[in-house]
A and B are shown apart, each in its own frame.
Chain A
Amino acid sequence: GNSVTQMEGPVTLSEEAFLTINCTYTATGYPSLFWYVQYPGEGLQLLLKATKADDKGSNKGFEATYRKETTSFHLEKGSVQVSDSAVYFCALKGRGSGAGSYQLTFGKGTKLSVIP
């Protein structure tokens, strides 16, 4: 079955530091890949996505590249801010028309804290 493994936190960084959160996946075929963000006390929001190999998703200064050869989708940001403090989830969605293609498979989440 499908699975997502992401680095466990918590991660604590100083403002303006470089961020990488690793994410690797196992899936049949070519899934769509996502990063979701959860701010304190809120539901999850889509941060960025990539639907095919070598695609780069980007939003709010965050980037992730779909690497089929390494089955990875690492999240990066060049200069984090205090407002980026949140929990980040890597996720995948399979392709096809079966029930499995409707389901998102999530990693366990990585909590990021950015200190001034």
Chain B
Amino acid sequence: NAGVTQTPKFQVLKTGQSMTLQCAQDMNHEYMSWYRQDPGMGLRLIHYSVGAGITDQGEVPNGYNVSRSTTEDFPLRLLSAAPSQTSVYFCASRRGNGDEQFFGPGTRLTVL
């Protein structure tokens, strides 16, 4: 049982480039979400999904796209990277409306 996995662990992009952060979970959790963590800001919700084919925006969705074609995968796409998107990104999953949320190890993204 791998839990929540994220790739890559580190990434450096140039302004304007696009990329996809991968997230997968093997716990058959319905709910998945993406957060960004910035110094002094805590974790802020970017997008979330309550099941395959269903996504919604969180607190800071601008500049990011998501899709949920399977229960297991929830990729986060940066369409045109900006320096303001330099951050650590965490994916998380939860069983329906259950309480415990499981986090991946994070992706540290730097946009130059």
Residues on A close to B: CB < 8 A? 32, 34, 36, 41-46, 49, 51, 89, 93, 97, 99, 101-104, 106-109
Contacts and interface: CB of A to CB of B under 8 A. Distances in A.
Contacts of B43: 44, 89, 106
- Counting chain B residues whose Cβ lies within 8 A of the other chain, the interface size class is 20 to 34
Given A32-B99, A43-B105, A44-B90, A103 B42 contact: no
Contacts of B97: 97, 101-102
Query: Chain B's interface: helix, strand, loop or mixed, by majority?
Result: strand
Interface in B16-75: 31, 33, 40-43, 45, 48, 50, 56, 58
A10 to B, nearest CB: 11
23 contacts: A34-B99, A41-B105, A42-B105, A42-B106, A43-B4, A43-B90, A43-B105, A44-B90, A46-B100, A46-B101, A49-B99, A49-B100, A89-B42, A93-B99, A97-B97, A101-B97, A102-B31, A102-B48, A103-B45, A106-B42, A108-B41, A108-B42, A109-B42
